[in-house]
Amino acid sequence: MLNFDENKLRERLAEMPLSCRLAFAVAVAGRLLPCYERYARLKKHLPLERPKQIIDGLLRKIDAGDTMVDGWPAILEEVMDLIPEEDPDDAGFLDLLAQHSLSALAYAVRCFLSGDVQEAAWAGLCEYEAADQAAIKVLKLDLAAPGAEMAILSHPFVQRVFEVQDADLQLLRRGEIKEVLGRSRAQPTFSDEALDRFA
C-alpha cells in the first residue's frame, strides 16, 4: 500500500528539470480543477473559467519552453484572491476542496515563477490532503478510533492519488510531459459522482 512522503516526492522532483516539475504541479492543479468549478457554480459570483484559463496558460508555457514570467506575479495574486477564506471549522466541504484546488494552482504558478521544487511538492500535498479529507468524510470516522488512520490511508480516494502521482513521476522521469498533462484532463481527483456526494 502506497503512502504520501513529502520528502521523497521532493527528492524525486529535484532530479527533474523545471519543465517536468512544473508539469507535475500543473497536472495536479488540473485534476483538482473540477472541485473549484463545482464550488464556483454553487457560489455563482466567482469566475468559473478563470482558473482553467490560467492552467491553459501554464500549459502553453510548458509546450513552448517559455520561461518569461512577465505578468505572472499578478496572475498569482489573482489566484490567491480566489481562495476561499472561510474558517475550516465553518466551511462547507466543497469550500475545503476549492481551497485545495486553488492552492494547488497557486503552487503551480509559484513553481513557474521560482523554479523551486518545494512548490511542486506542495501542489502534490494539496491533492493528497483533499483525498484524505474526502476519505474521512465518506467513512465518517472517529479519528481517535483504533484503525482510523489505516482506514483513511487505504481508502480508494487516497490510494488513487498516490498511484496517479507515482505514475506521473515515472512518466516525467522519461520526459513524457505531454502524456502526463493529457492524463490530468482525463483523470480528475474526484469523479462527478463523488463531487455530487460532497455537495
> CB neighbours (10 Å) of residue 117?
21
> Virtual CA dihedral for 136, 138, 144, 147, nearest 10 degrees?
-100
User: What is this structure's pTM?
Assistant: 0.94
Q: Which superfamily is assigned to 11-188 in CATH?
A: YP_001051499.1 domain like (1.20.1590.10)
Q: Please give the grid coordinates belonging to residue 153.
A: 490511508
The predicted-structure confidence for 126-177, as pLDDT tens digits, reads as follows 999 999 999 999 998 878 888 889 999 999 999 999 999 999 999 999 999 9
Domain boundaries, the chain: 11-188
pLDDT along the chain (199 residues), means of 10: 87 96 98 96 90 97 94 98 73 90 98 97 98 93 85 94 97 97 93 89
- Give the Cα separation of 93 and 37 in Å (integer): 14
Q: How many helices (H) and strands (E) does the chain have?
A: 10, 0
Contact between 117 and 9 under an 8 Å Cβ cutoff? The reply is no
